[in-house]
Structure 1
Amino acid sequence: MDRHNIYQNLPDSFEHEEFSDLLSLPGFRIERIVSKGHSSPDVGWYEQDGNEWVMVLKGAGILEFEDGREVHLNDGDYLNIPKRVKHKVKWTDPDSPTLWLAVFYP
């Protein structure tokens, strides 16, 4: 078993968001996402076949849902997004990295 640290190896350049699988098993995945001023494309929504639990470990972001709701997330805030609920990232802090932890499960 190797020990890892979620805060290590953060990207220096933020041209694109960084997505890294930390653990991937059949039907279950843990992902690290690093954003800095990024948002989802204007057109389209995320609509997953499984549930997604997401937490902001560092930074800030706003999730927007198809029904018009917006959820502001800051350090330590987390949210469970049921499967097939359409959502997108509306905003992330442009001045410092936002570090997300996302867990995808059935």
Structure 2
Amino acid sequence: MNNLFQGLPEDNSIEHFDKLIETQSCRVERIVSYGQASPEVGWYDQSEQEWVLVLSGYGIVEMETGERVRLKAGDHLLIKAHQRHRVVQTSSDEPTIWLAVFYP
């Protein structure tokens, strides 16, 4: 048995991406952020849908339209394919643990 809250990476200078499940049509990742944000320039523009759930900490996701969504533990968000977005802030006083599901 595995636990999403155990075995957290010790290096908090970078964001960590762990693939939990990967098939031809779906990928599930645990993402652990320690205050990281997306680079100032550039946007994520993915060819797949992304459903993301915050398990601990918080994150603020900005859409290219200027809309900002603050997600705290228990909050989830669907980011549609090619919906340009970026993470502008994550918790720096505790790990932000995300569960992300990518699918067509």
TM-score where L is the length of structure 1: 0.96
For 1:92 and 1:82, locate their aligned partners in 2 and report how far apart those are by CA, in whole Å.
21
Distance 1:27 1:90 in 2: 28
Residue ranges of structure 2 left out of the alignment (5+ in a row) = none
Question: Match for 2:73 among 65, 72, 75?
Answer: 75
Equivalent-residue separation in structure 2 for 1:80 and 1:62 (angstroms)? 14
Q: How many aligned residue pairs are there?
A: 104
The aligned amino acid for 2:78 is N
The AA in structure 1 aligned to 2:41 is: V
Any idea what the Cα deviations from partners look like across 1:17-46, whole Å, max 9, x if unmatched? 000000000121000000011000011000
Match of 1:93 among 88, 91, 94: 91
Structure 1, residues 61-87: CA drift from partner, whole Å, max 9, x if none?
100010000000001000001100000
Gaps of 5+ in 1: none
Aligned-residue identity in percent: 49
Answer yes or no: is 1:39 the counterpart of 2:41.
no
Report the Cα offset of residue 13 of structure 1: 1.9
TM-score (normalised: structure 2): 0.98
Aligned-residue CA RMSD (Å)? 0.6
